[in-house]
Amino acid sequence: MIDALPLEDRVALVSGGAQGIGRAIAARFQRAGAAVILIDVDAKAGQASARALSAEIPQRPVSFVPADLLLPAQIASALSEVREQFGRVDILVNNAGVEIERSFESTTIGDWDRLLGVNLRGAFLLTQAALPLFPAAGGAIVNISSIHASHAFPDSLAYACSKAGLLALTRNLALELAPRHIRVNALCPGYIDTRLWEEYVSRAADPAALAAQTAALHPIGRRGQPRDVAEAVLYLASDSSAFVTGTSLVLDGGLTIRAHA
């Protein structure tokens, strides 16, 4: 069943779209009427996701372009392909990201550069490359940050800095791009059940206990699902949020409102 179409006739580019949250966003945008392009460093997974999503709604196929966001030349090549196929971009979702758990003392410069390079520099470079493709009517940019941007967690310094940087990028881009009618907002998810989360839980001494413990941390009683993120991103990307720019929306089931555990 195809939903109402708040994104009909719009072109949406979703980075990190091959799996997890990115794929859920792409699927939601597709159901909302958008022409969706996935961009991801994992060509095999990206092509597979594009094929699977296209099969679900054949009249609205999903495309895939490969790019490593650490490499400006690959970003330029990907956006050149998007321009050739679609002519424009109305919505950009900077979702691609990596996470490395290290204590401060054990964090290497390589860890730091990779996290900041993909999560923050990559969003900067992709936005800069996509900007000329936005039409005069404007559009929307959504940056996927994290509750790590505002709350401290063990072994997450570099990751937190990259996500906090995305909030600064969001605010400043919102101000600078407002005359071009481009709204820029950020989403800050908490615990979301993705493949990476499942792998993390599986490494625990007692996976079932960890899963129950983390669910109990949320006043709402559960961890988030990729579809929860996708619905929030749809709001920020659509005309439903036409008067919203330069802000960040926390999506964490109430996790960060607790004064203590």
Q: Which residues participate in catalysis according to the annotation?
A: 159
> In angstroms, what CA-CA distances link 249 with 93, 122, 146, 167, 236?
14, 21, 10, 11, 9
Q: List residues bridging with 35 in a β-sheet.
A: 11
CA-nearest of 157, 150, 174 to 251 is 150
CA atoms of 185 and 140, how far apart (whole Å): 8
Q: Both ends of the chain: CA-CA distance in Å? A: 41
Helices (H), strands (E): how many in the chain?
9, 7
CA atoms of 120 and 88, how far apart (whole Å): 23
CA atoms of 74 and 235, how far apart (whole Å): 30
Q: Which two tokens stand for residue 3?
A: 């939903």
> In angstroms, what CA-CA distances link 101 with 59, 98, 111, 170, 201?
42, 10, 9, 25, 14
> In angstroms, what CA-CA distances link 141 with 42, 190, 245, 247, 254?
23, 20, 9, 12, 25
> In angstroms, what CA-CA distances link 40 with 125, 170, 195?
14, 21, 16
The DSSP 8-state label assigned to residue 71 in this structure reads -
